[in-house]
Structure formats: C-alpha cells, structure tokens
Amino acid sequence: MSRISWNQYFMAQSSLLALRSTCERLSVGATIVRDKRIIAGGYNGSISGGVHCRDEGCYVIDGHCVRTIHAEMNALLQCAKFGVPTTGAEIYVTHFPCLQCCKAIIQSGIKKVYYASDYKNHPYAIELFEQSGVETELVILEEQYDLTSKSKKELTEALLDELMKSHTDPETVQKYREQFNTLYEQDIHTLNK
C-alpha cells in the first residue's frame, strides 16, 4: 500500500470526527490544518452538556436543526477557546460549508477549504469564497480511507434485497442493482488508478 496523501489523510481525519456527530440528519466533521499539522477538529452536535438530537430528535425550525452547532464552527471555536490562530490555515470538511460557516471561515482568516461532498452549495457562499480569495477544492475521500463506505454498501445491498422481497418489479430492482454495481466498480476503478 502506498503512503496516504496529505489531502486524503486530513479528509480521513474529518471523516473520523464525523463519527462523533450527534445529529440525526447529517454527520459532518471538520479538521483545521496549518503547515501540515492539525490544530483543531470539530463535529456537528449540541452544546457541551446539552441534549443531543440522537437522544430527543432534532429541534427543527424553518427546515434547520437549531440545536446543532456545525462542525466548522466547533473547530473554529476550539481554536478560539485555546488561543490558536487560524490565519493562513486550511480546513478539511466532509461536506461543503453552509452560508453561515462560510462567513465564519472567511472571517477566521482560513485560506483554503477542502470538502469531500457537495451539500446544498449555496451560490452566495461560493460567491463570498471567491470574493474573499478563499479557495475551495473537492477532495473525494478514497473508499479505502472512508470509514463509512463498507456500511453504505451493506445498507444499499440490504435495501435492494428488501425491494425484491416486497414484490417490486424485478426489472426495476435489476436496474437499481446494475446502477449499484456500476457505482462500486467506478469506485474500485478510481482506487486502482
């Protein structure tokens, strides 16, 4: 096995942090890096000592869970709490930052955002990143470093099996199974390049 690249290493750290999330809607992790060294990390969840969404469900107002502090904010707040400067740093996030996190990232002096998945990429967030000179780069986490990829594949296989058991049209299930196989073959092909 070859040595892991820096981008894959830091994105894997963010993926690992996302496993600590207490949000039921989306697990997100963020890692702040300066000079190839991790200076902070965060995941989305409730305030310290507060009620968690996993315990009582999400507290949703206008389509947003107001109980959850986003991963990027938690990482930035960790830097603030311990007096760690973020000017010139980079952030690795499992999902494209929301508009509010985008503004906080810009104000913190972070110079580059790496993200593993597009997620409701707000046009104004993209505009603000460009306007402020903050670069963004998609870094897809390779399956071998994605701690959730095996469980995603197993879940998809189970869902396809359940579709067959529920007497769904076999041709429809076969179409989905072929798409599933193509998706995972592409992932394997990408890894072997």
pLDDT value of residue 64: 85
Q: Tell me which residues are annotated as active site.
A: 72
Give the model's pLDDT for residue 183. Answer: 59
CA pair distance 79, 108, nearest whole angstrom? 10
Compute CA 85 distance to the chain's CA centroid, rounded to the nearest angstrom.
Answer: 23
pTM for the predicted model, two decimal places: 0.77
CA gap 190, 193 in Å, rounded: 5
Note the pLDDT tens digit of each residue in 92-114: 999 999 999 999 999 999 999 99
Partnered with residue 112 across adjacent β-strands are 90, 135
